[in-house]
Amino acid sequence: MSDISVHHRACHLCEAICGLTIQTEGERILSIKGDPLDSFSRGHICPKAVALQDIQNDPDRLRHPMRRCGDEWQAIGWDEAYELVAERLAEIRERHGANTVAIYQGNPSVHNYGLMTHSNYFLGLLKTRNRFSATSVDQLPHHLTSHLMYGHGLLLPVPDIDHTDFMLILGGNPLASNGSIMTVPDVEKRLKAIRARGGKLVVVDPRRSETAAIADQHLFVRPGQDAALLFGLLNTLFEEGLTRASELPLDDIEEVRTAIAAFSAEAMSARCGVPAEQIRQLARDFAAADKAVCYGRMGVSTQAFGTLCQWLVQLINLVTGNLDRVGGALCTEPAVDLVETTSGGHFAAWHSRVSQLPEYGGELPVAALAEEMLEPGEGQVRALITVAGNPVLSTPNGRKLEQALDGLEFMLSVDFYINETTRYADVILPPTAPLEHDHYDATFNLLAVRNVTRFN
């Protein structure tokens, strides 16, 4: 008798959370396809999802805890592994203090609701101020801006891509990323639909990206000078009387107008390299559209003016009446609402020991991680826990980080691969693989362009 069955599953590999149908026969995966009945992703799939079976079947994927003995790895039992980890961490905390144990959480952490809901029962117990994650090399300016403007770092307005008439994208390439801080499966069709219904897509990017190539207009901005362009746009909106009243309560908007009065399109043009008349025309086109949305992503976040850029993006939506409006930027109403269930966040409540960098939401910028391990003195980090991350590859100055990892007294990694980072661990604890546990997108339903929910 055949035991072929079909499983419905969200792909957890990127923010698009596409619905998949996975056909199996016993333990064997027969096919992975986009689910045409998934009302959110509408059958969309990309090649990465098909490769989920390669993880599932990979003989190199760890199935047992591993202990490093010099250059050799030895499989050990779970009880022995837990005991060893607990003993070493407790001993280091006891000897040097709680802050000498650091934590790094990688991006997959937010794609796993088990980690989202339960990792803090362990990590929080450590009570260390040296917590790091991928956030500070990705979207931290979004959180800080929302925290300062709206009172909660997760109250992140999302472009209403399916209803807008005018979409302005800065520093984002959804055709390559499949959307980010905008969970949007099948993004190419959705962007093309804006144009098909008579709307307009404008991309600002120093590079002719894949998304710029399908836009109505592409403005080449000087790298790192997006804030100047955004200032020029906002200034033009004020100066030419293009703002639109909003029902949202606005504090201090006159102060903003006064503060940016000198940042005219002409003054900003010299900085950003976009001709002043093009900046002015863009502001007029944006304001003239019935429903418009400005969206800035990684290219305007991971740069010197990241938070300033995200603040200006919010202001442009706000003063044109496009914030919290259909076709503009909207906040979701997810079934599991992290805005309701988490604290609003805090900023600069403490600073890193060596470079005095401020924390946000309990995390320090990961750029400070290596120096916290390398710089001798009271509070020097002696032990590290990594969870689902490979910071040697994905964070700044990986070589320096490697040097730092090599000098630690103890390192624990939760990961199912020995990789560039985990090879320095003393113990690796492997979780189940993506297709071996249930799944709910606690984070990405919050950022989705439609209100959706799905448990697999």
Q: Which residues bind ligand SF4 (CB under 6 A)?
A: 11, 13-14, 16-18, 45-46, 48-49, 178, 185
Residue 189's CB is within 10 A of a number of other CB atoms, namely 11
Helix, coil or strand: residue 34? strand
Report how far residue 303's alpha carbon sits from residue 161's, in angstroms, rounded to the nearest whole number.
Answer: 25
Which one, 42 or 68, has the nearer CB to ligand SF4? Answer: 42
Residue with Cβ nearer ligand SF4 (45 or 115): 45
Q: Which of 429, 401, 329, 379 is nearest to 119 (CA)?
A: 429
Cβ proximity to ligand SF4, 49 vs 92, nearer residue = 49
Identify the residue whose tokens are 């403490």: 350
Closest distance to ligand SF4 from the beta carbon of 310 (Å): 23
Contact assessment for residue 143 and residue 153, using Cβ atoms and an 8 Å cutoff: yes
Q: Which helix (H) or strand (E) holds 204?
A: strand 200-204
Distance CA 294, CA 352 (A): 34
Distance (Å, whole) CA 46 – CA 177? 11
Return the amino acid letter for 81: A
Least distance in Å: CB of 34 to ligand SF4? Answer: 7
Residues facing 74 on adjacent strands: 67
In this complex, which beta carbon is closest to ligand SF4, that of residue 174 or of residue 224? Answer: 174
Residues 6+ apart with CB under 8 A from 213: none
Supply 398's token pair: 């990986």
Among residues 56 and 236, whose Cβ is nearest to ligand SF4? 56
What is the closest distance, in whole angstroms, from the C-beta atom of residue 339 to ligand SF4 in the complex? 23
Distances in whole angstroms, Cα of residue 280 to Cα of each of 169, 191, 267, 352? 16, 24, 12, 42
CA–CA distances in Å: residue 110 to residues 12, 84, 368, 392 = 9, 27, 22, 19
What's the token pair of residue 168? 């302005």
Which residue's CB is nearer to ligand SF4, number 280 or number 439? 439
Cβ 9 to ligand SF4 shortest distance, Å: 10
CB environment 228-242: b (16+ within 10 A), e (fewer): bbbbbbbbbbbeeeb
Which lies closer to ligand SF4 via its Cβ, residue 93 or residue 439? 439
Pairing mode of beta strands 131-133, 101-105: parallel
Burial (CB < 10 A; 0-12, 13-18, 19+), residue 186, is buried
Residue whose CB is less far from ligand SF4, 78 or 455: 455
CB of 10 or CB of 279, closer to ligand SF4: 10
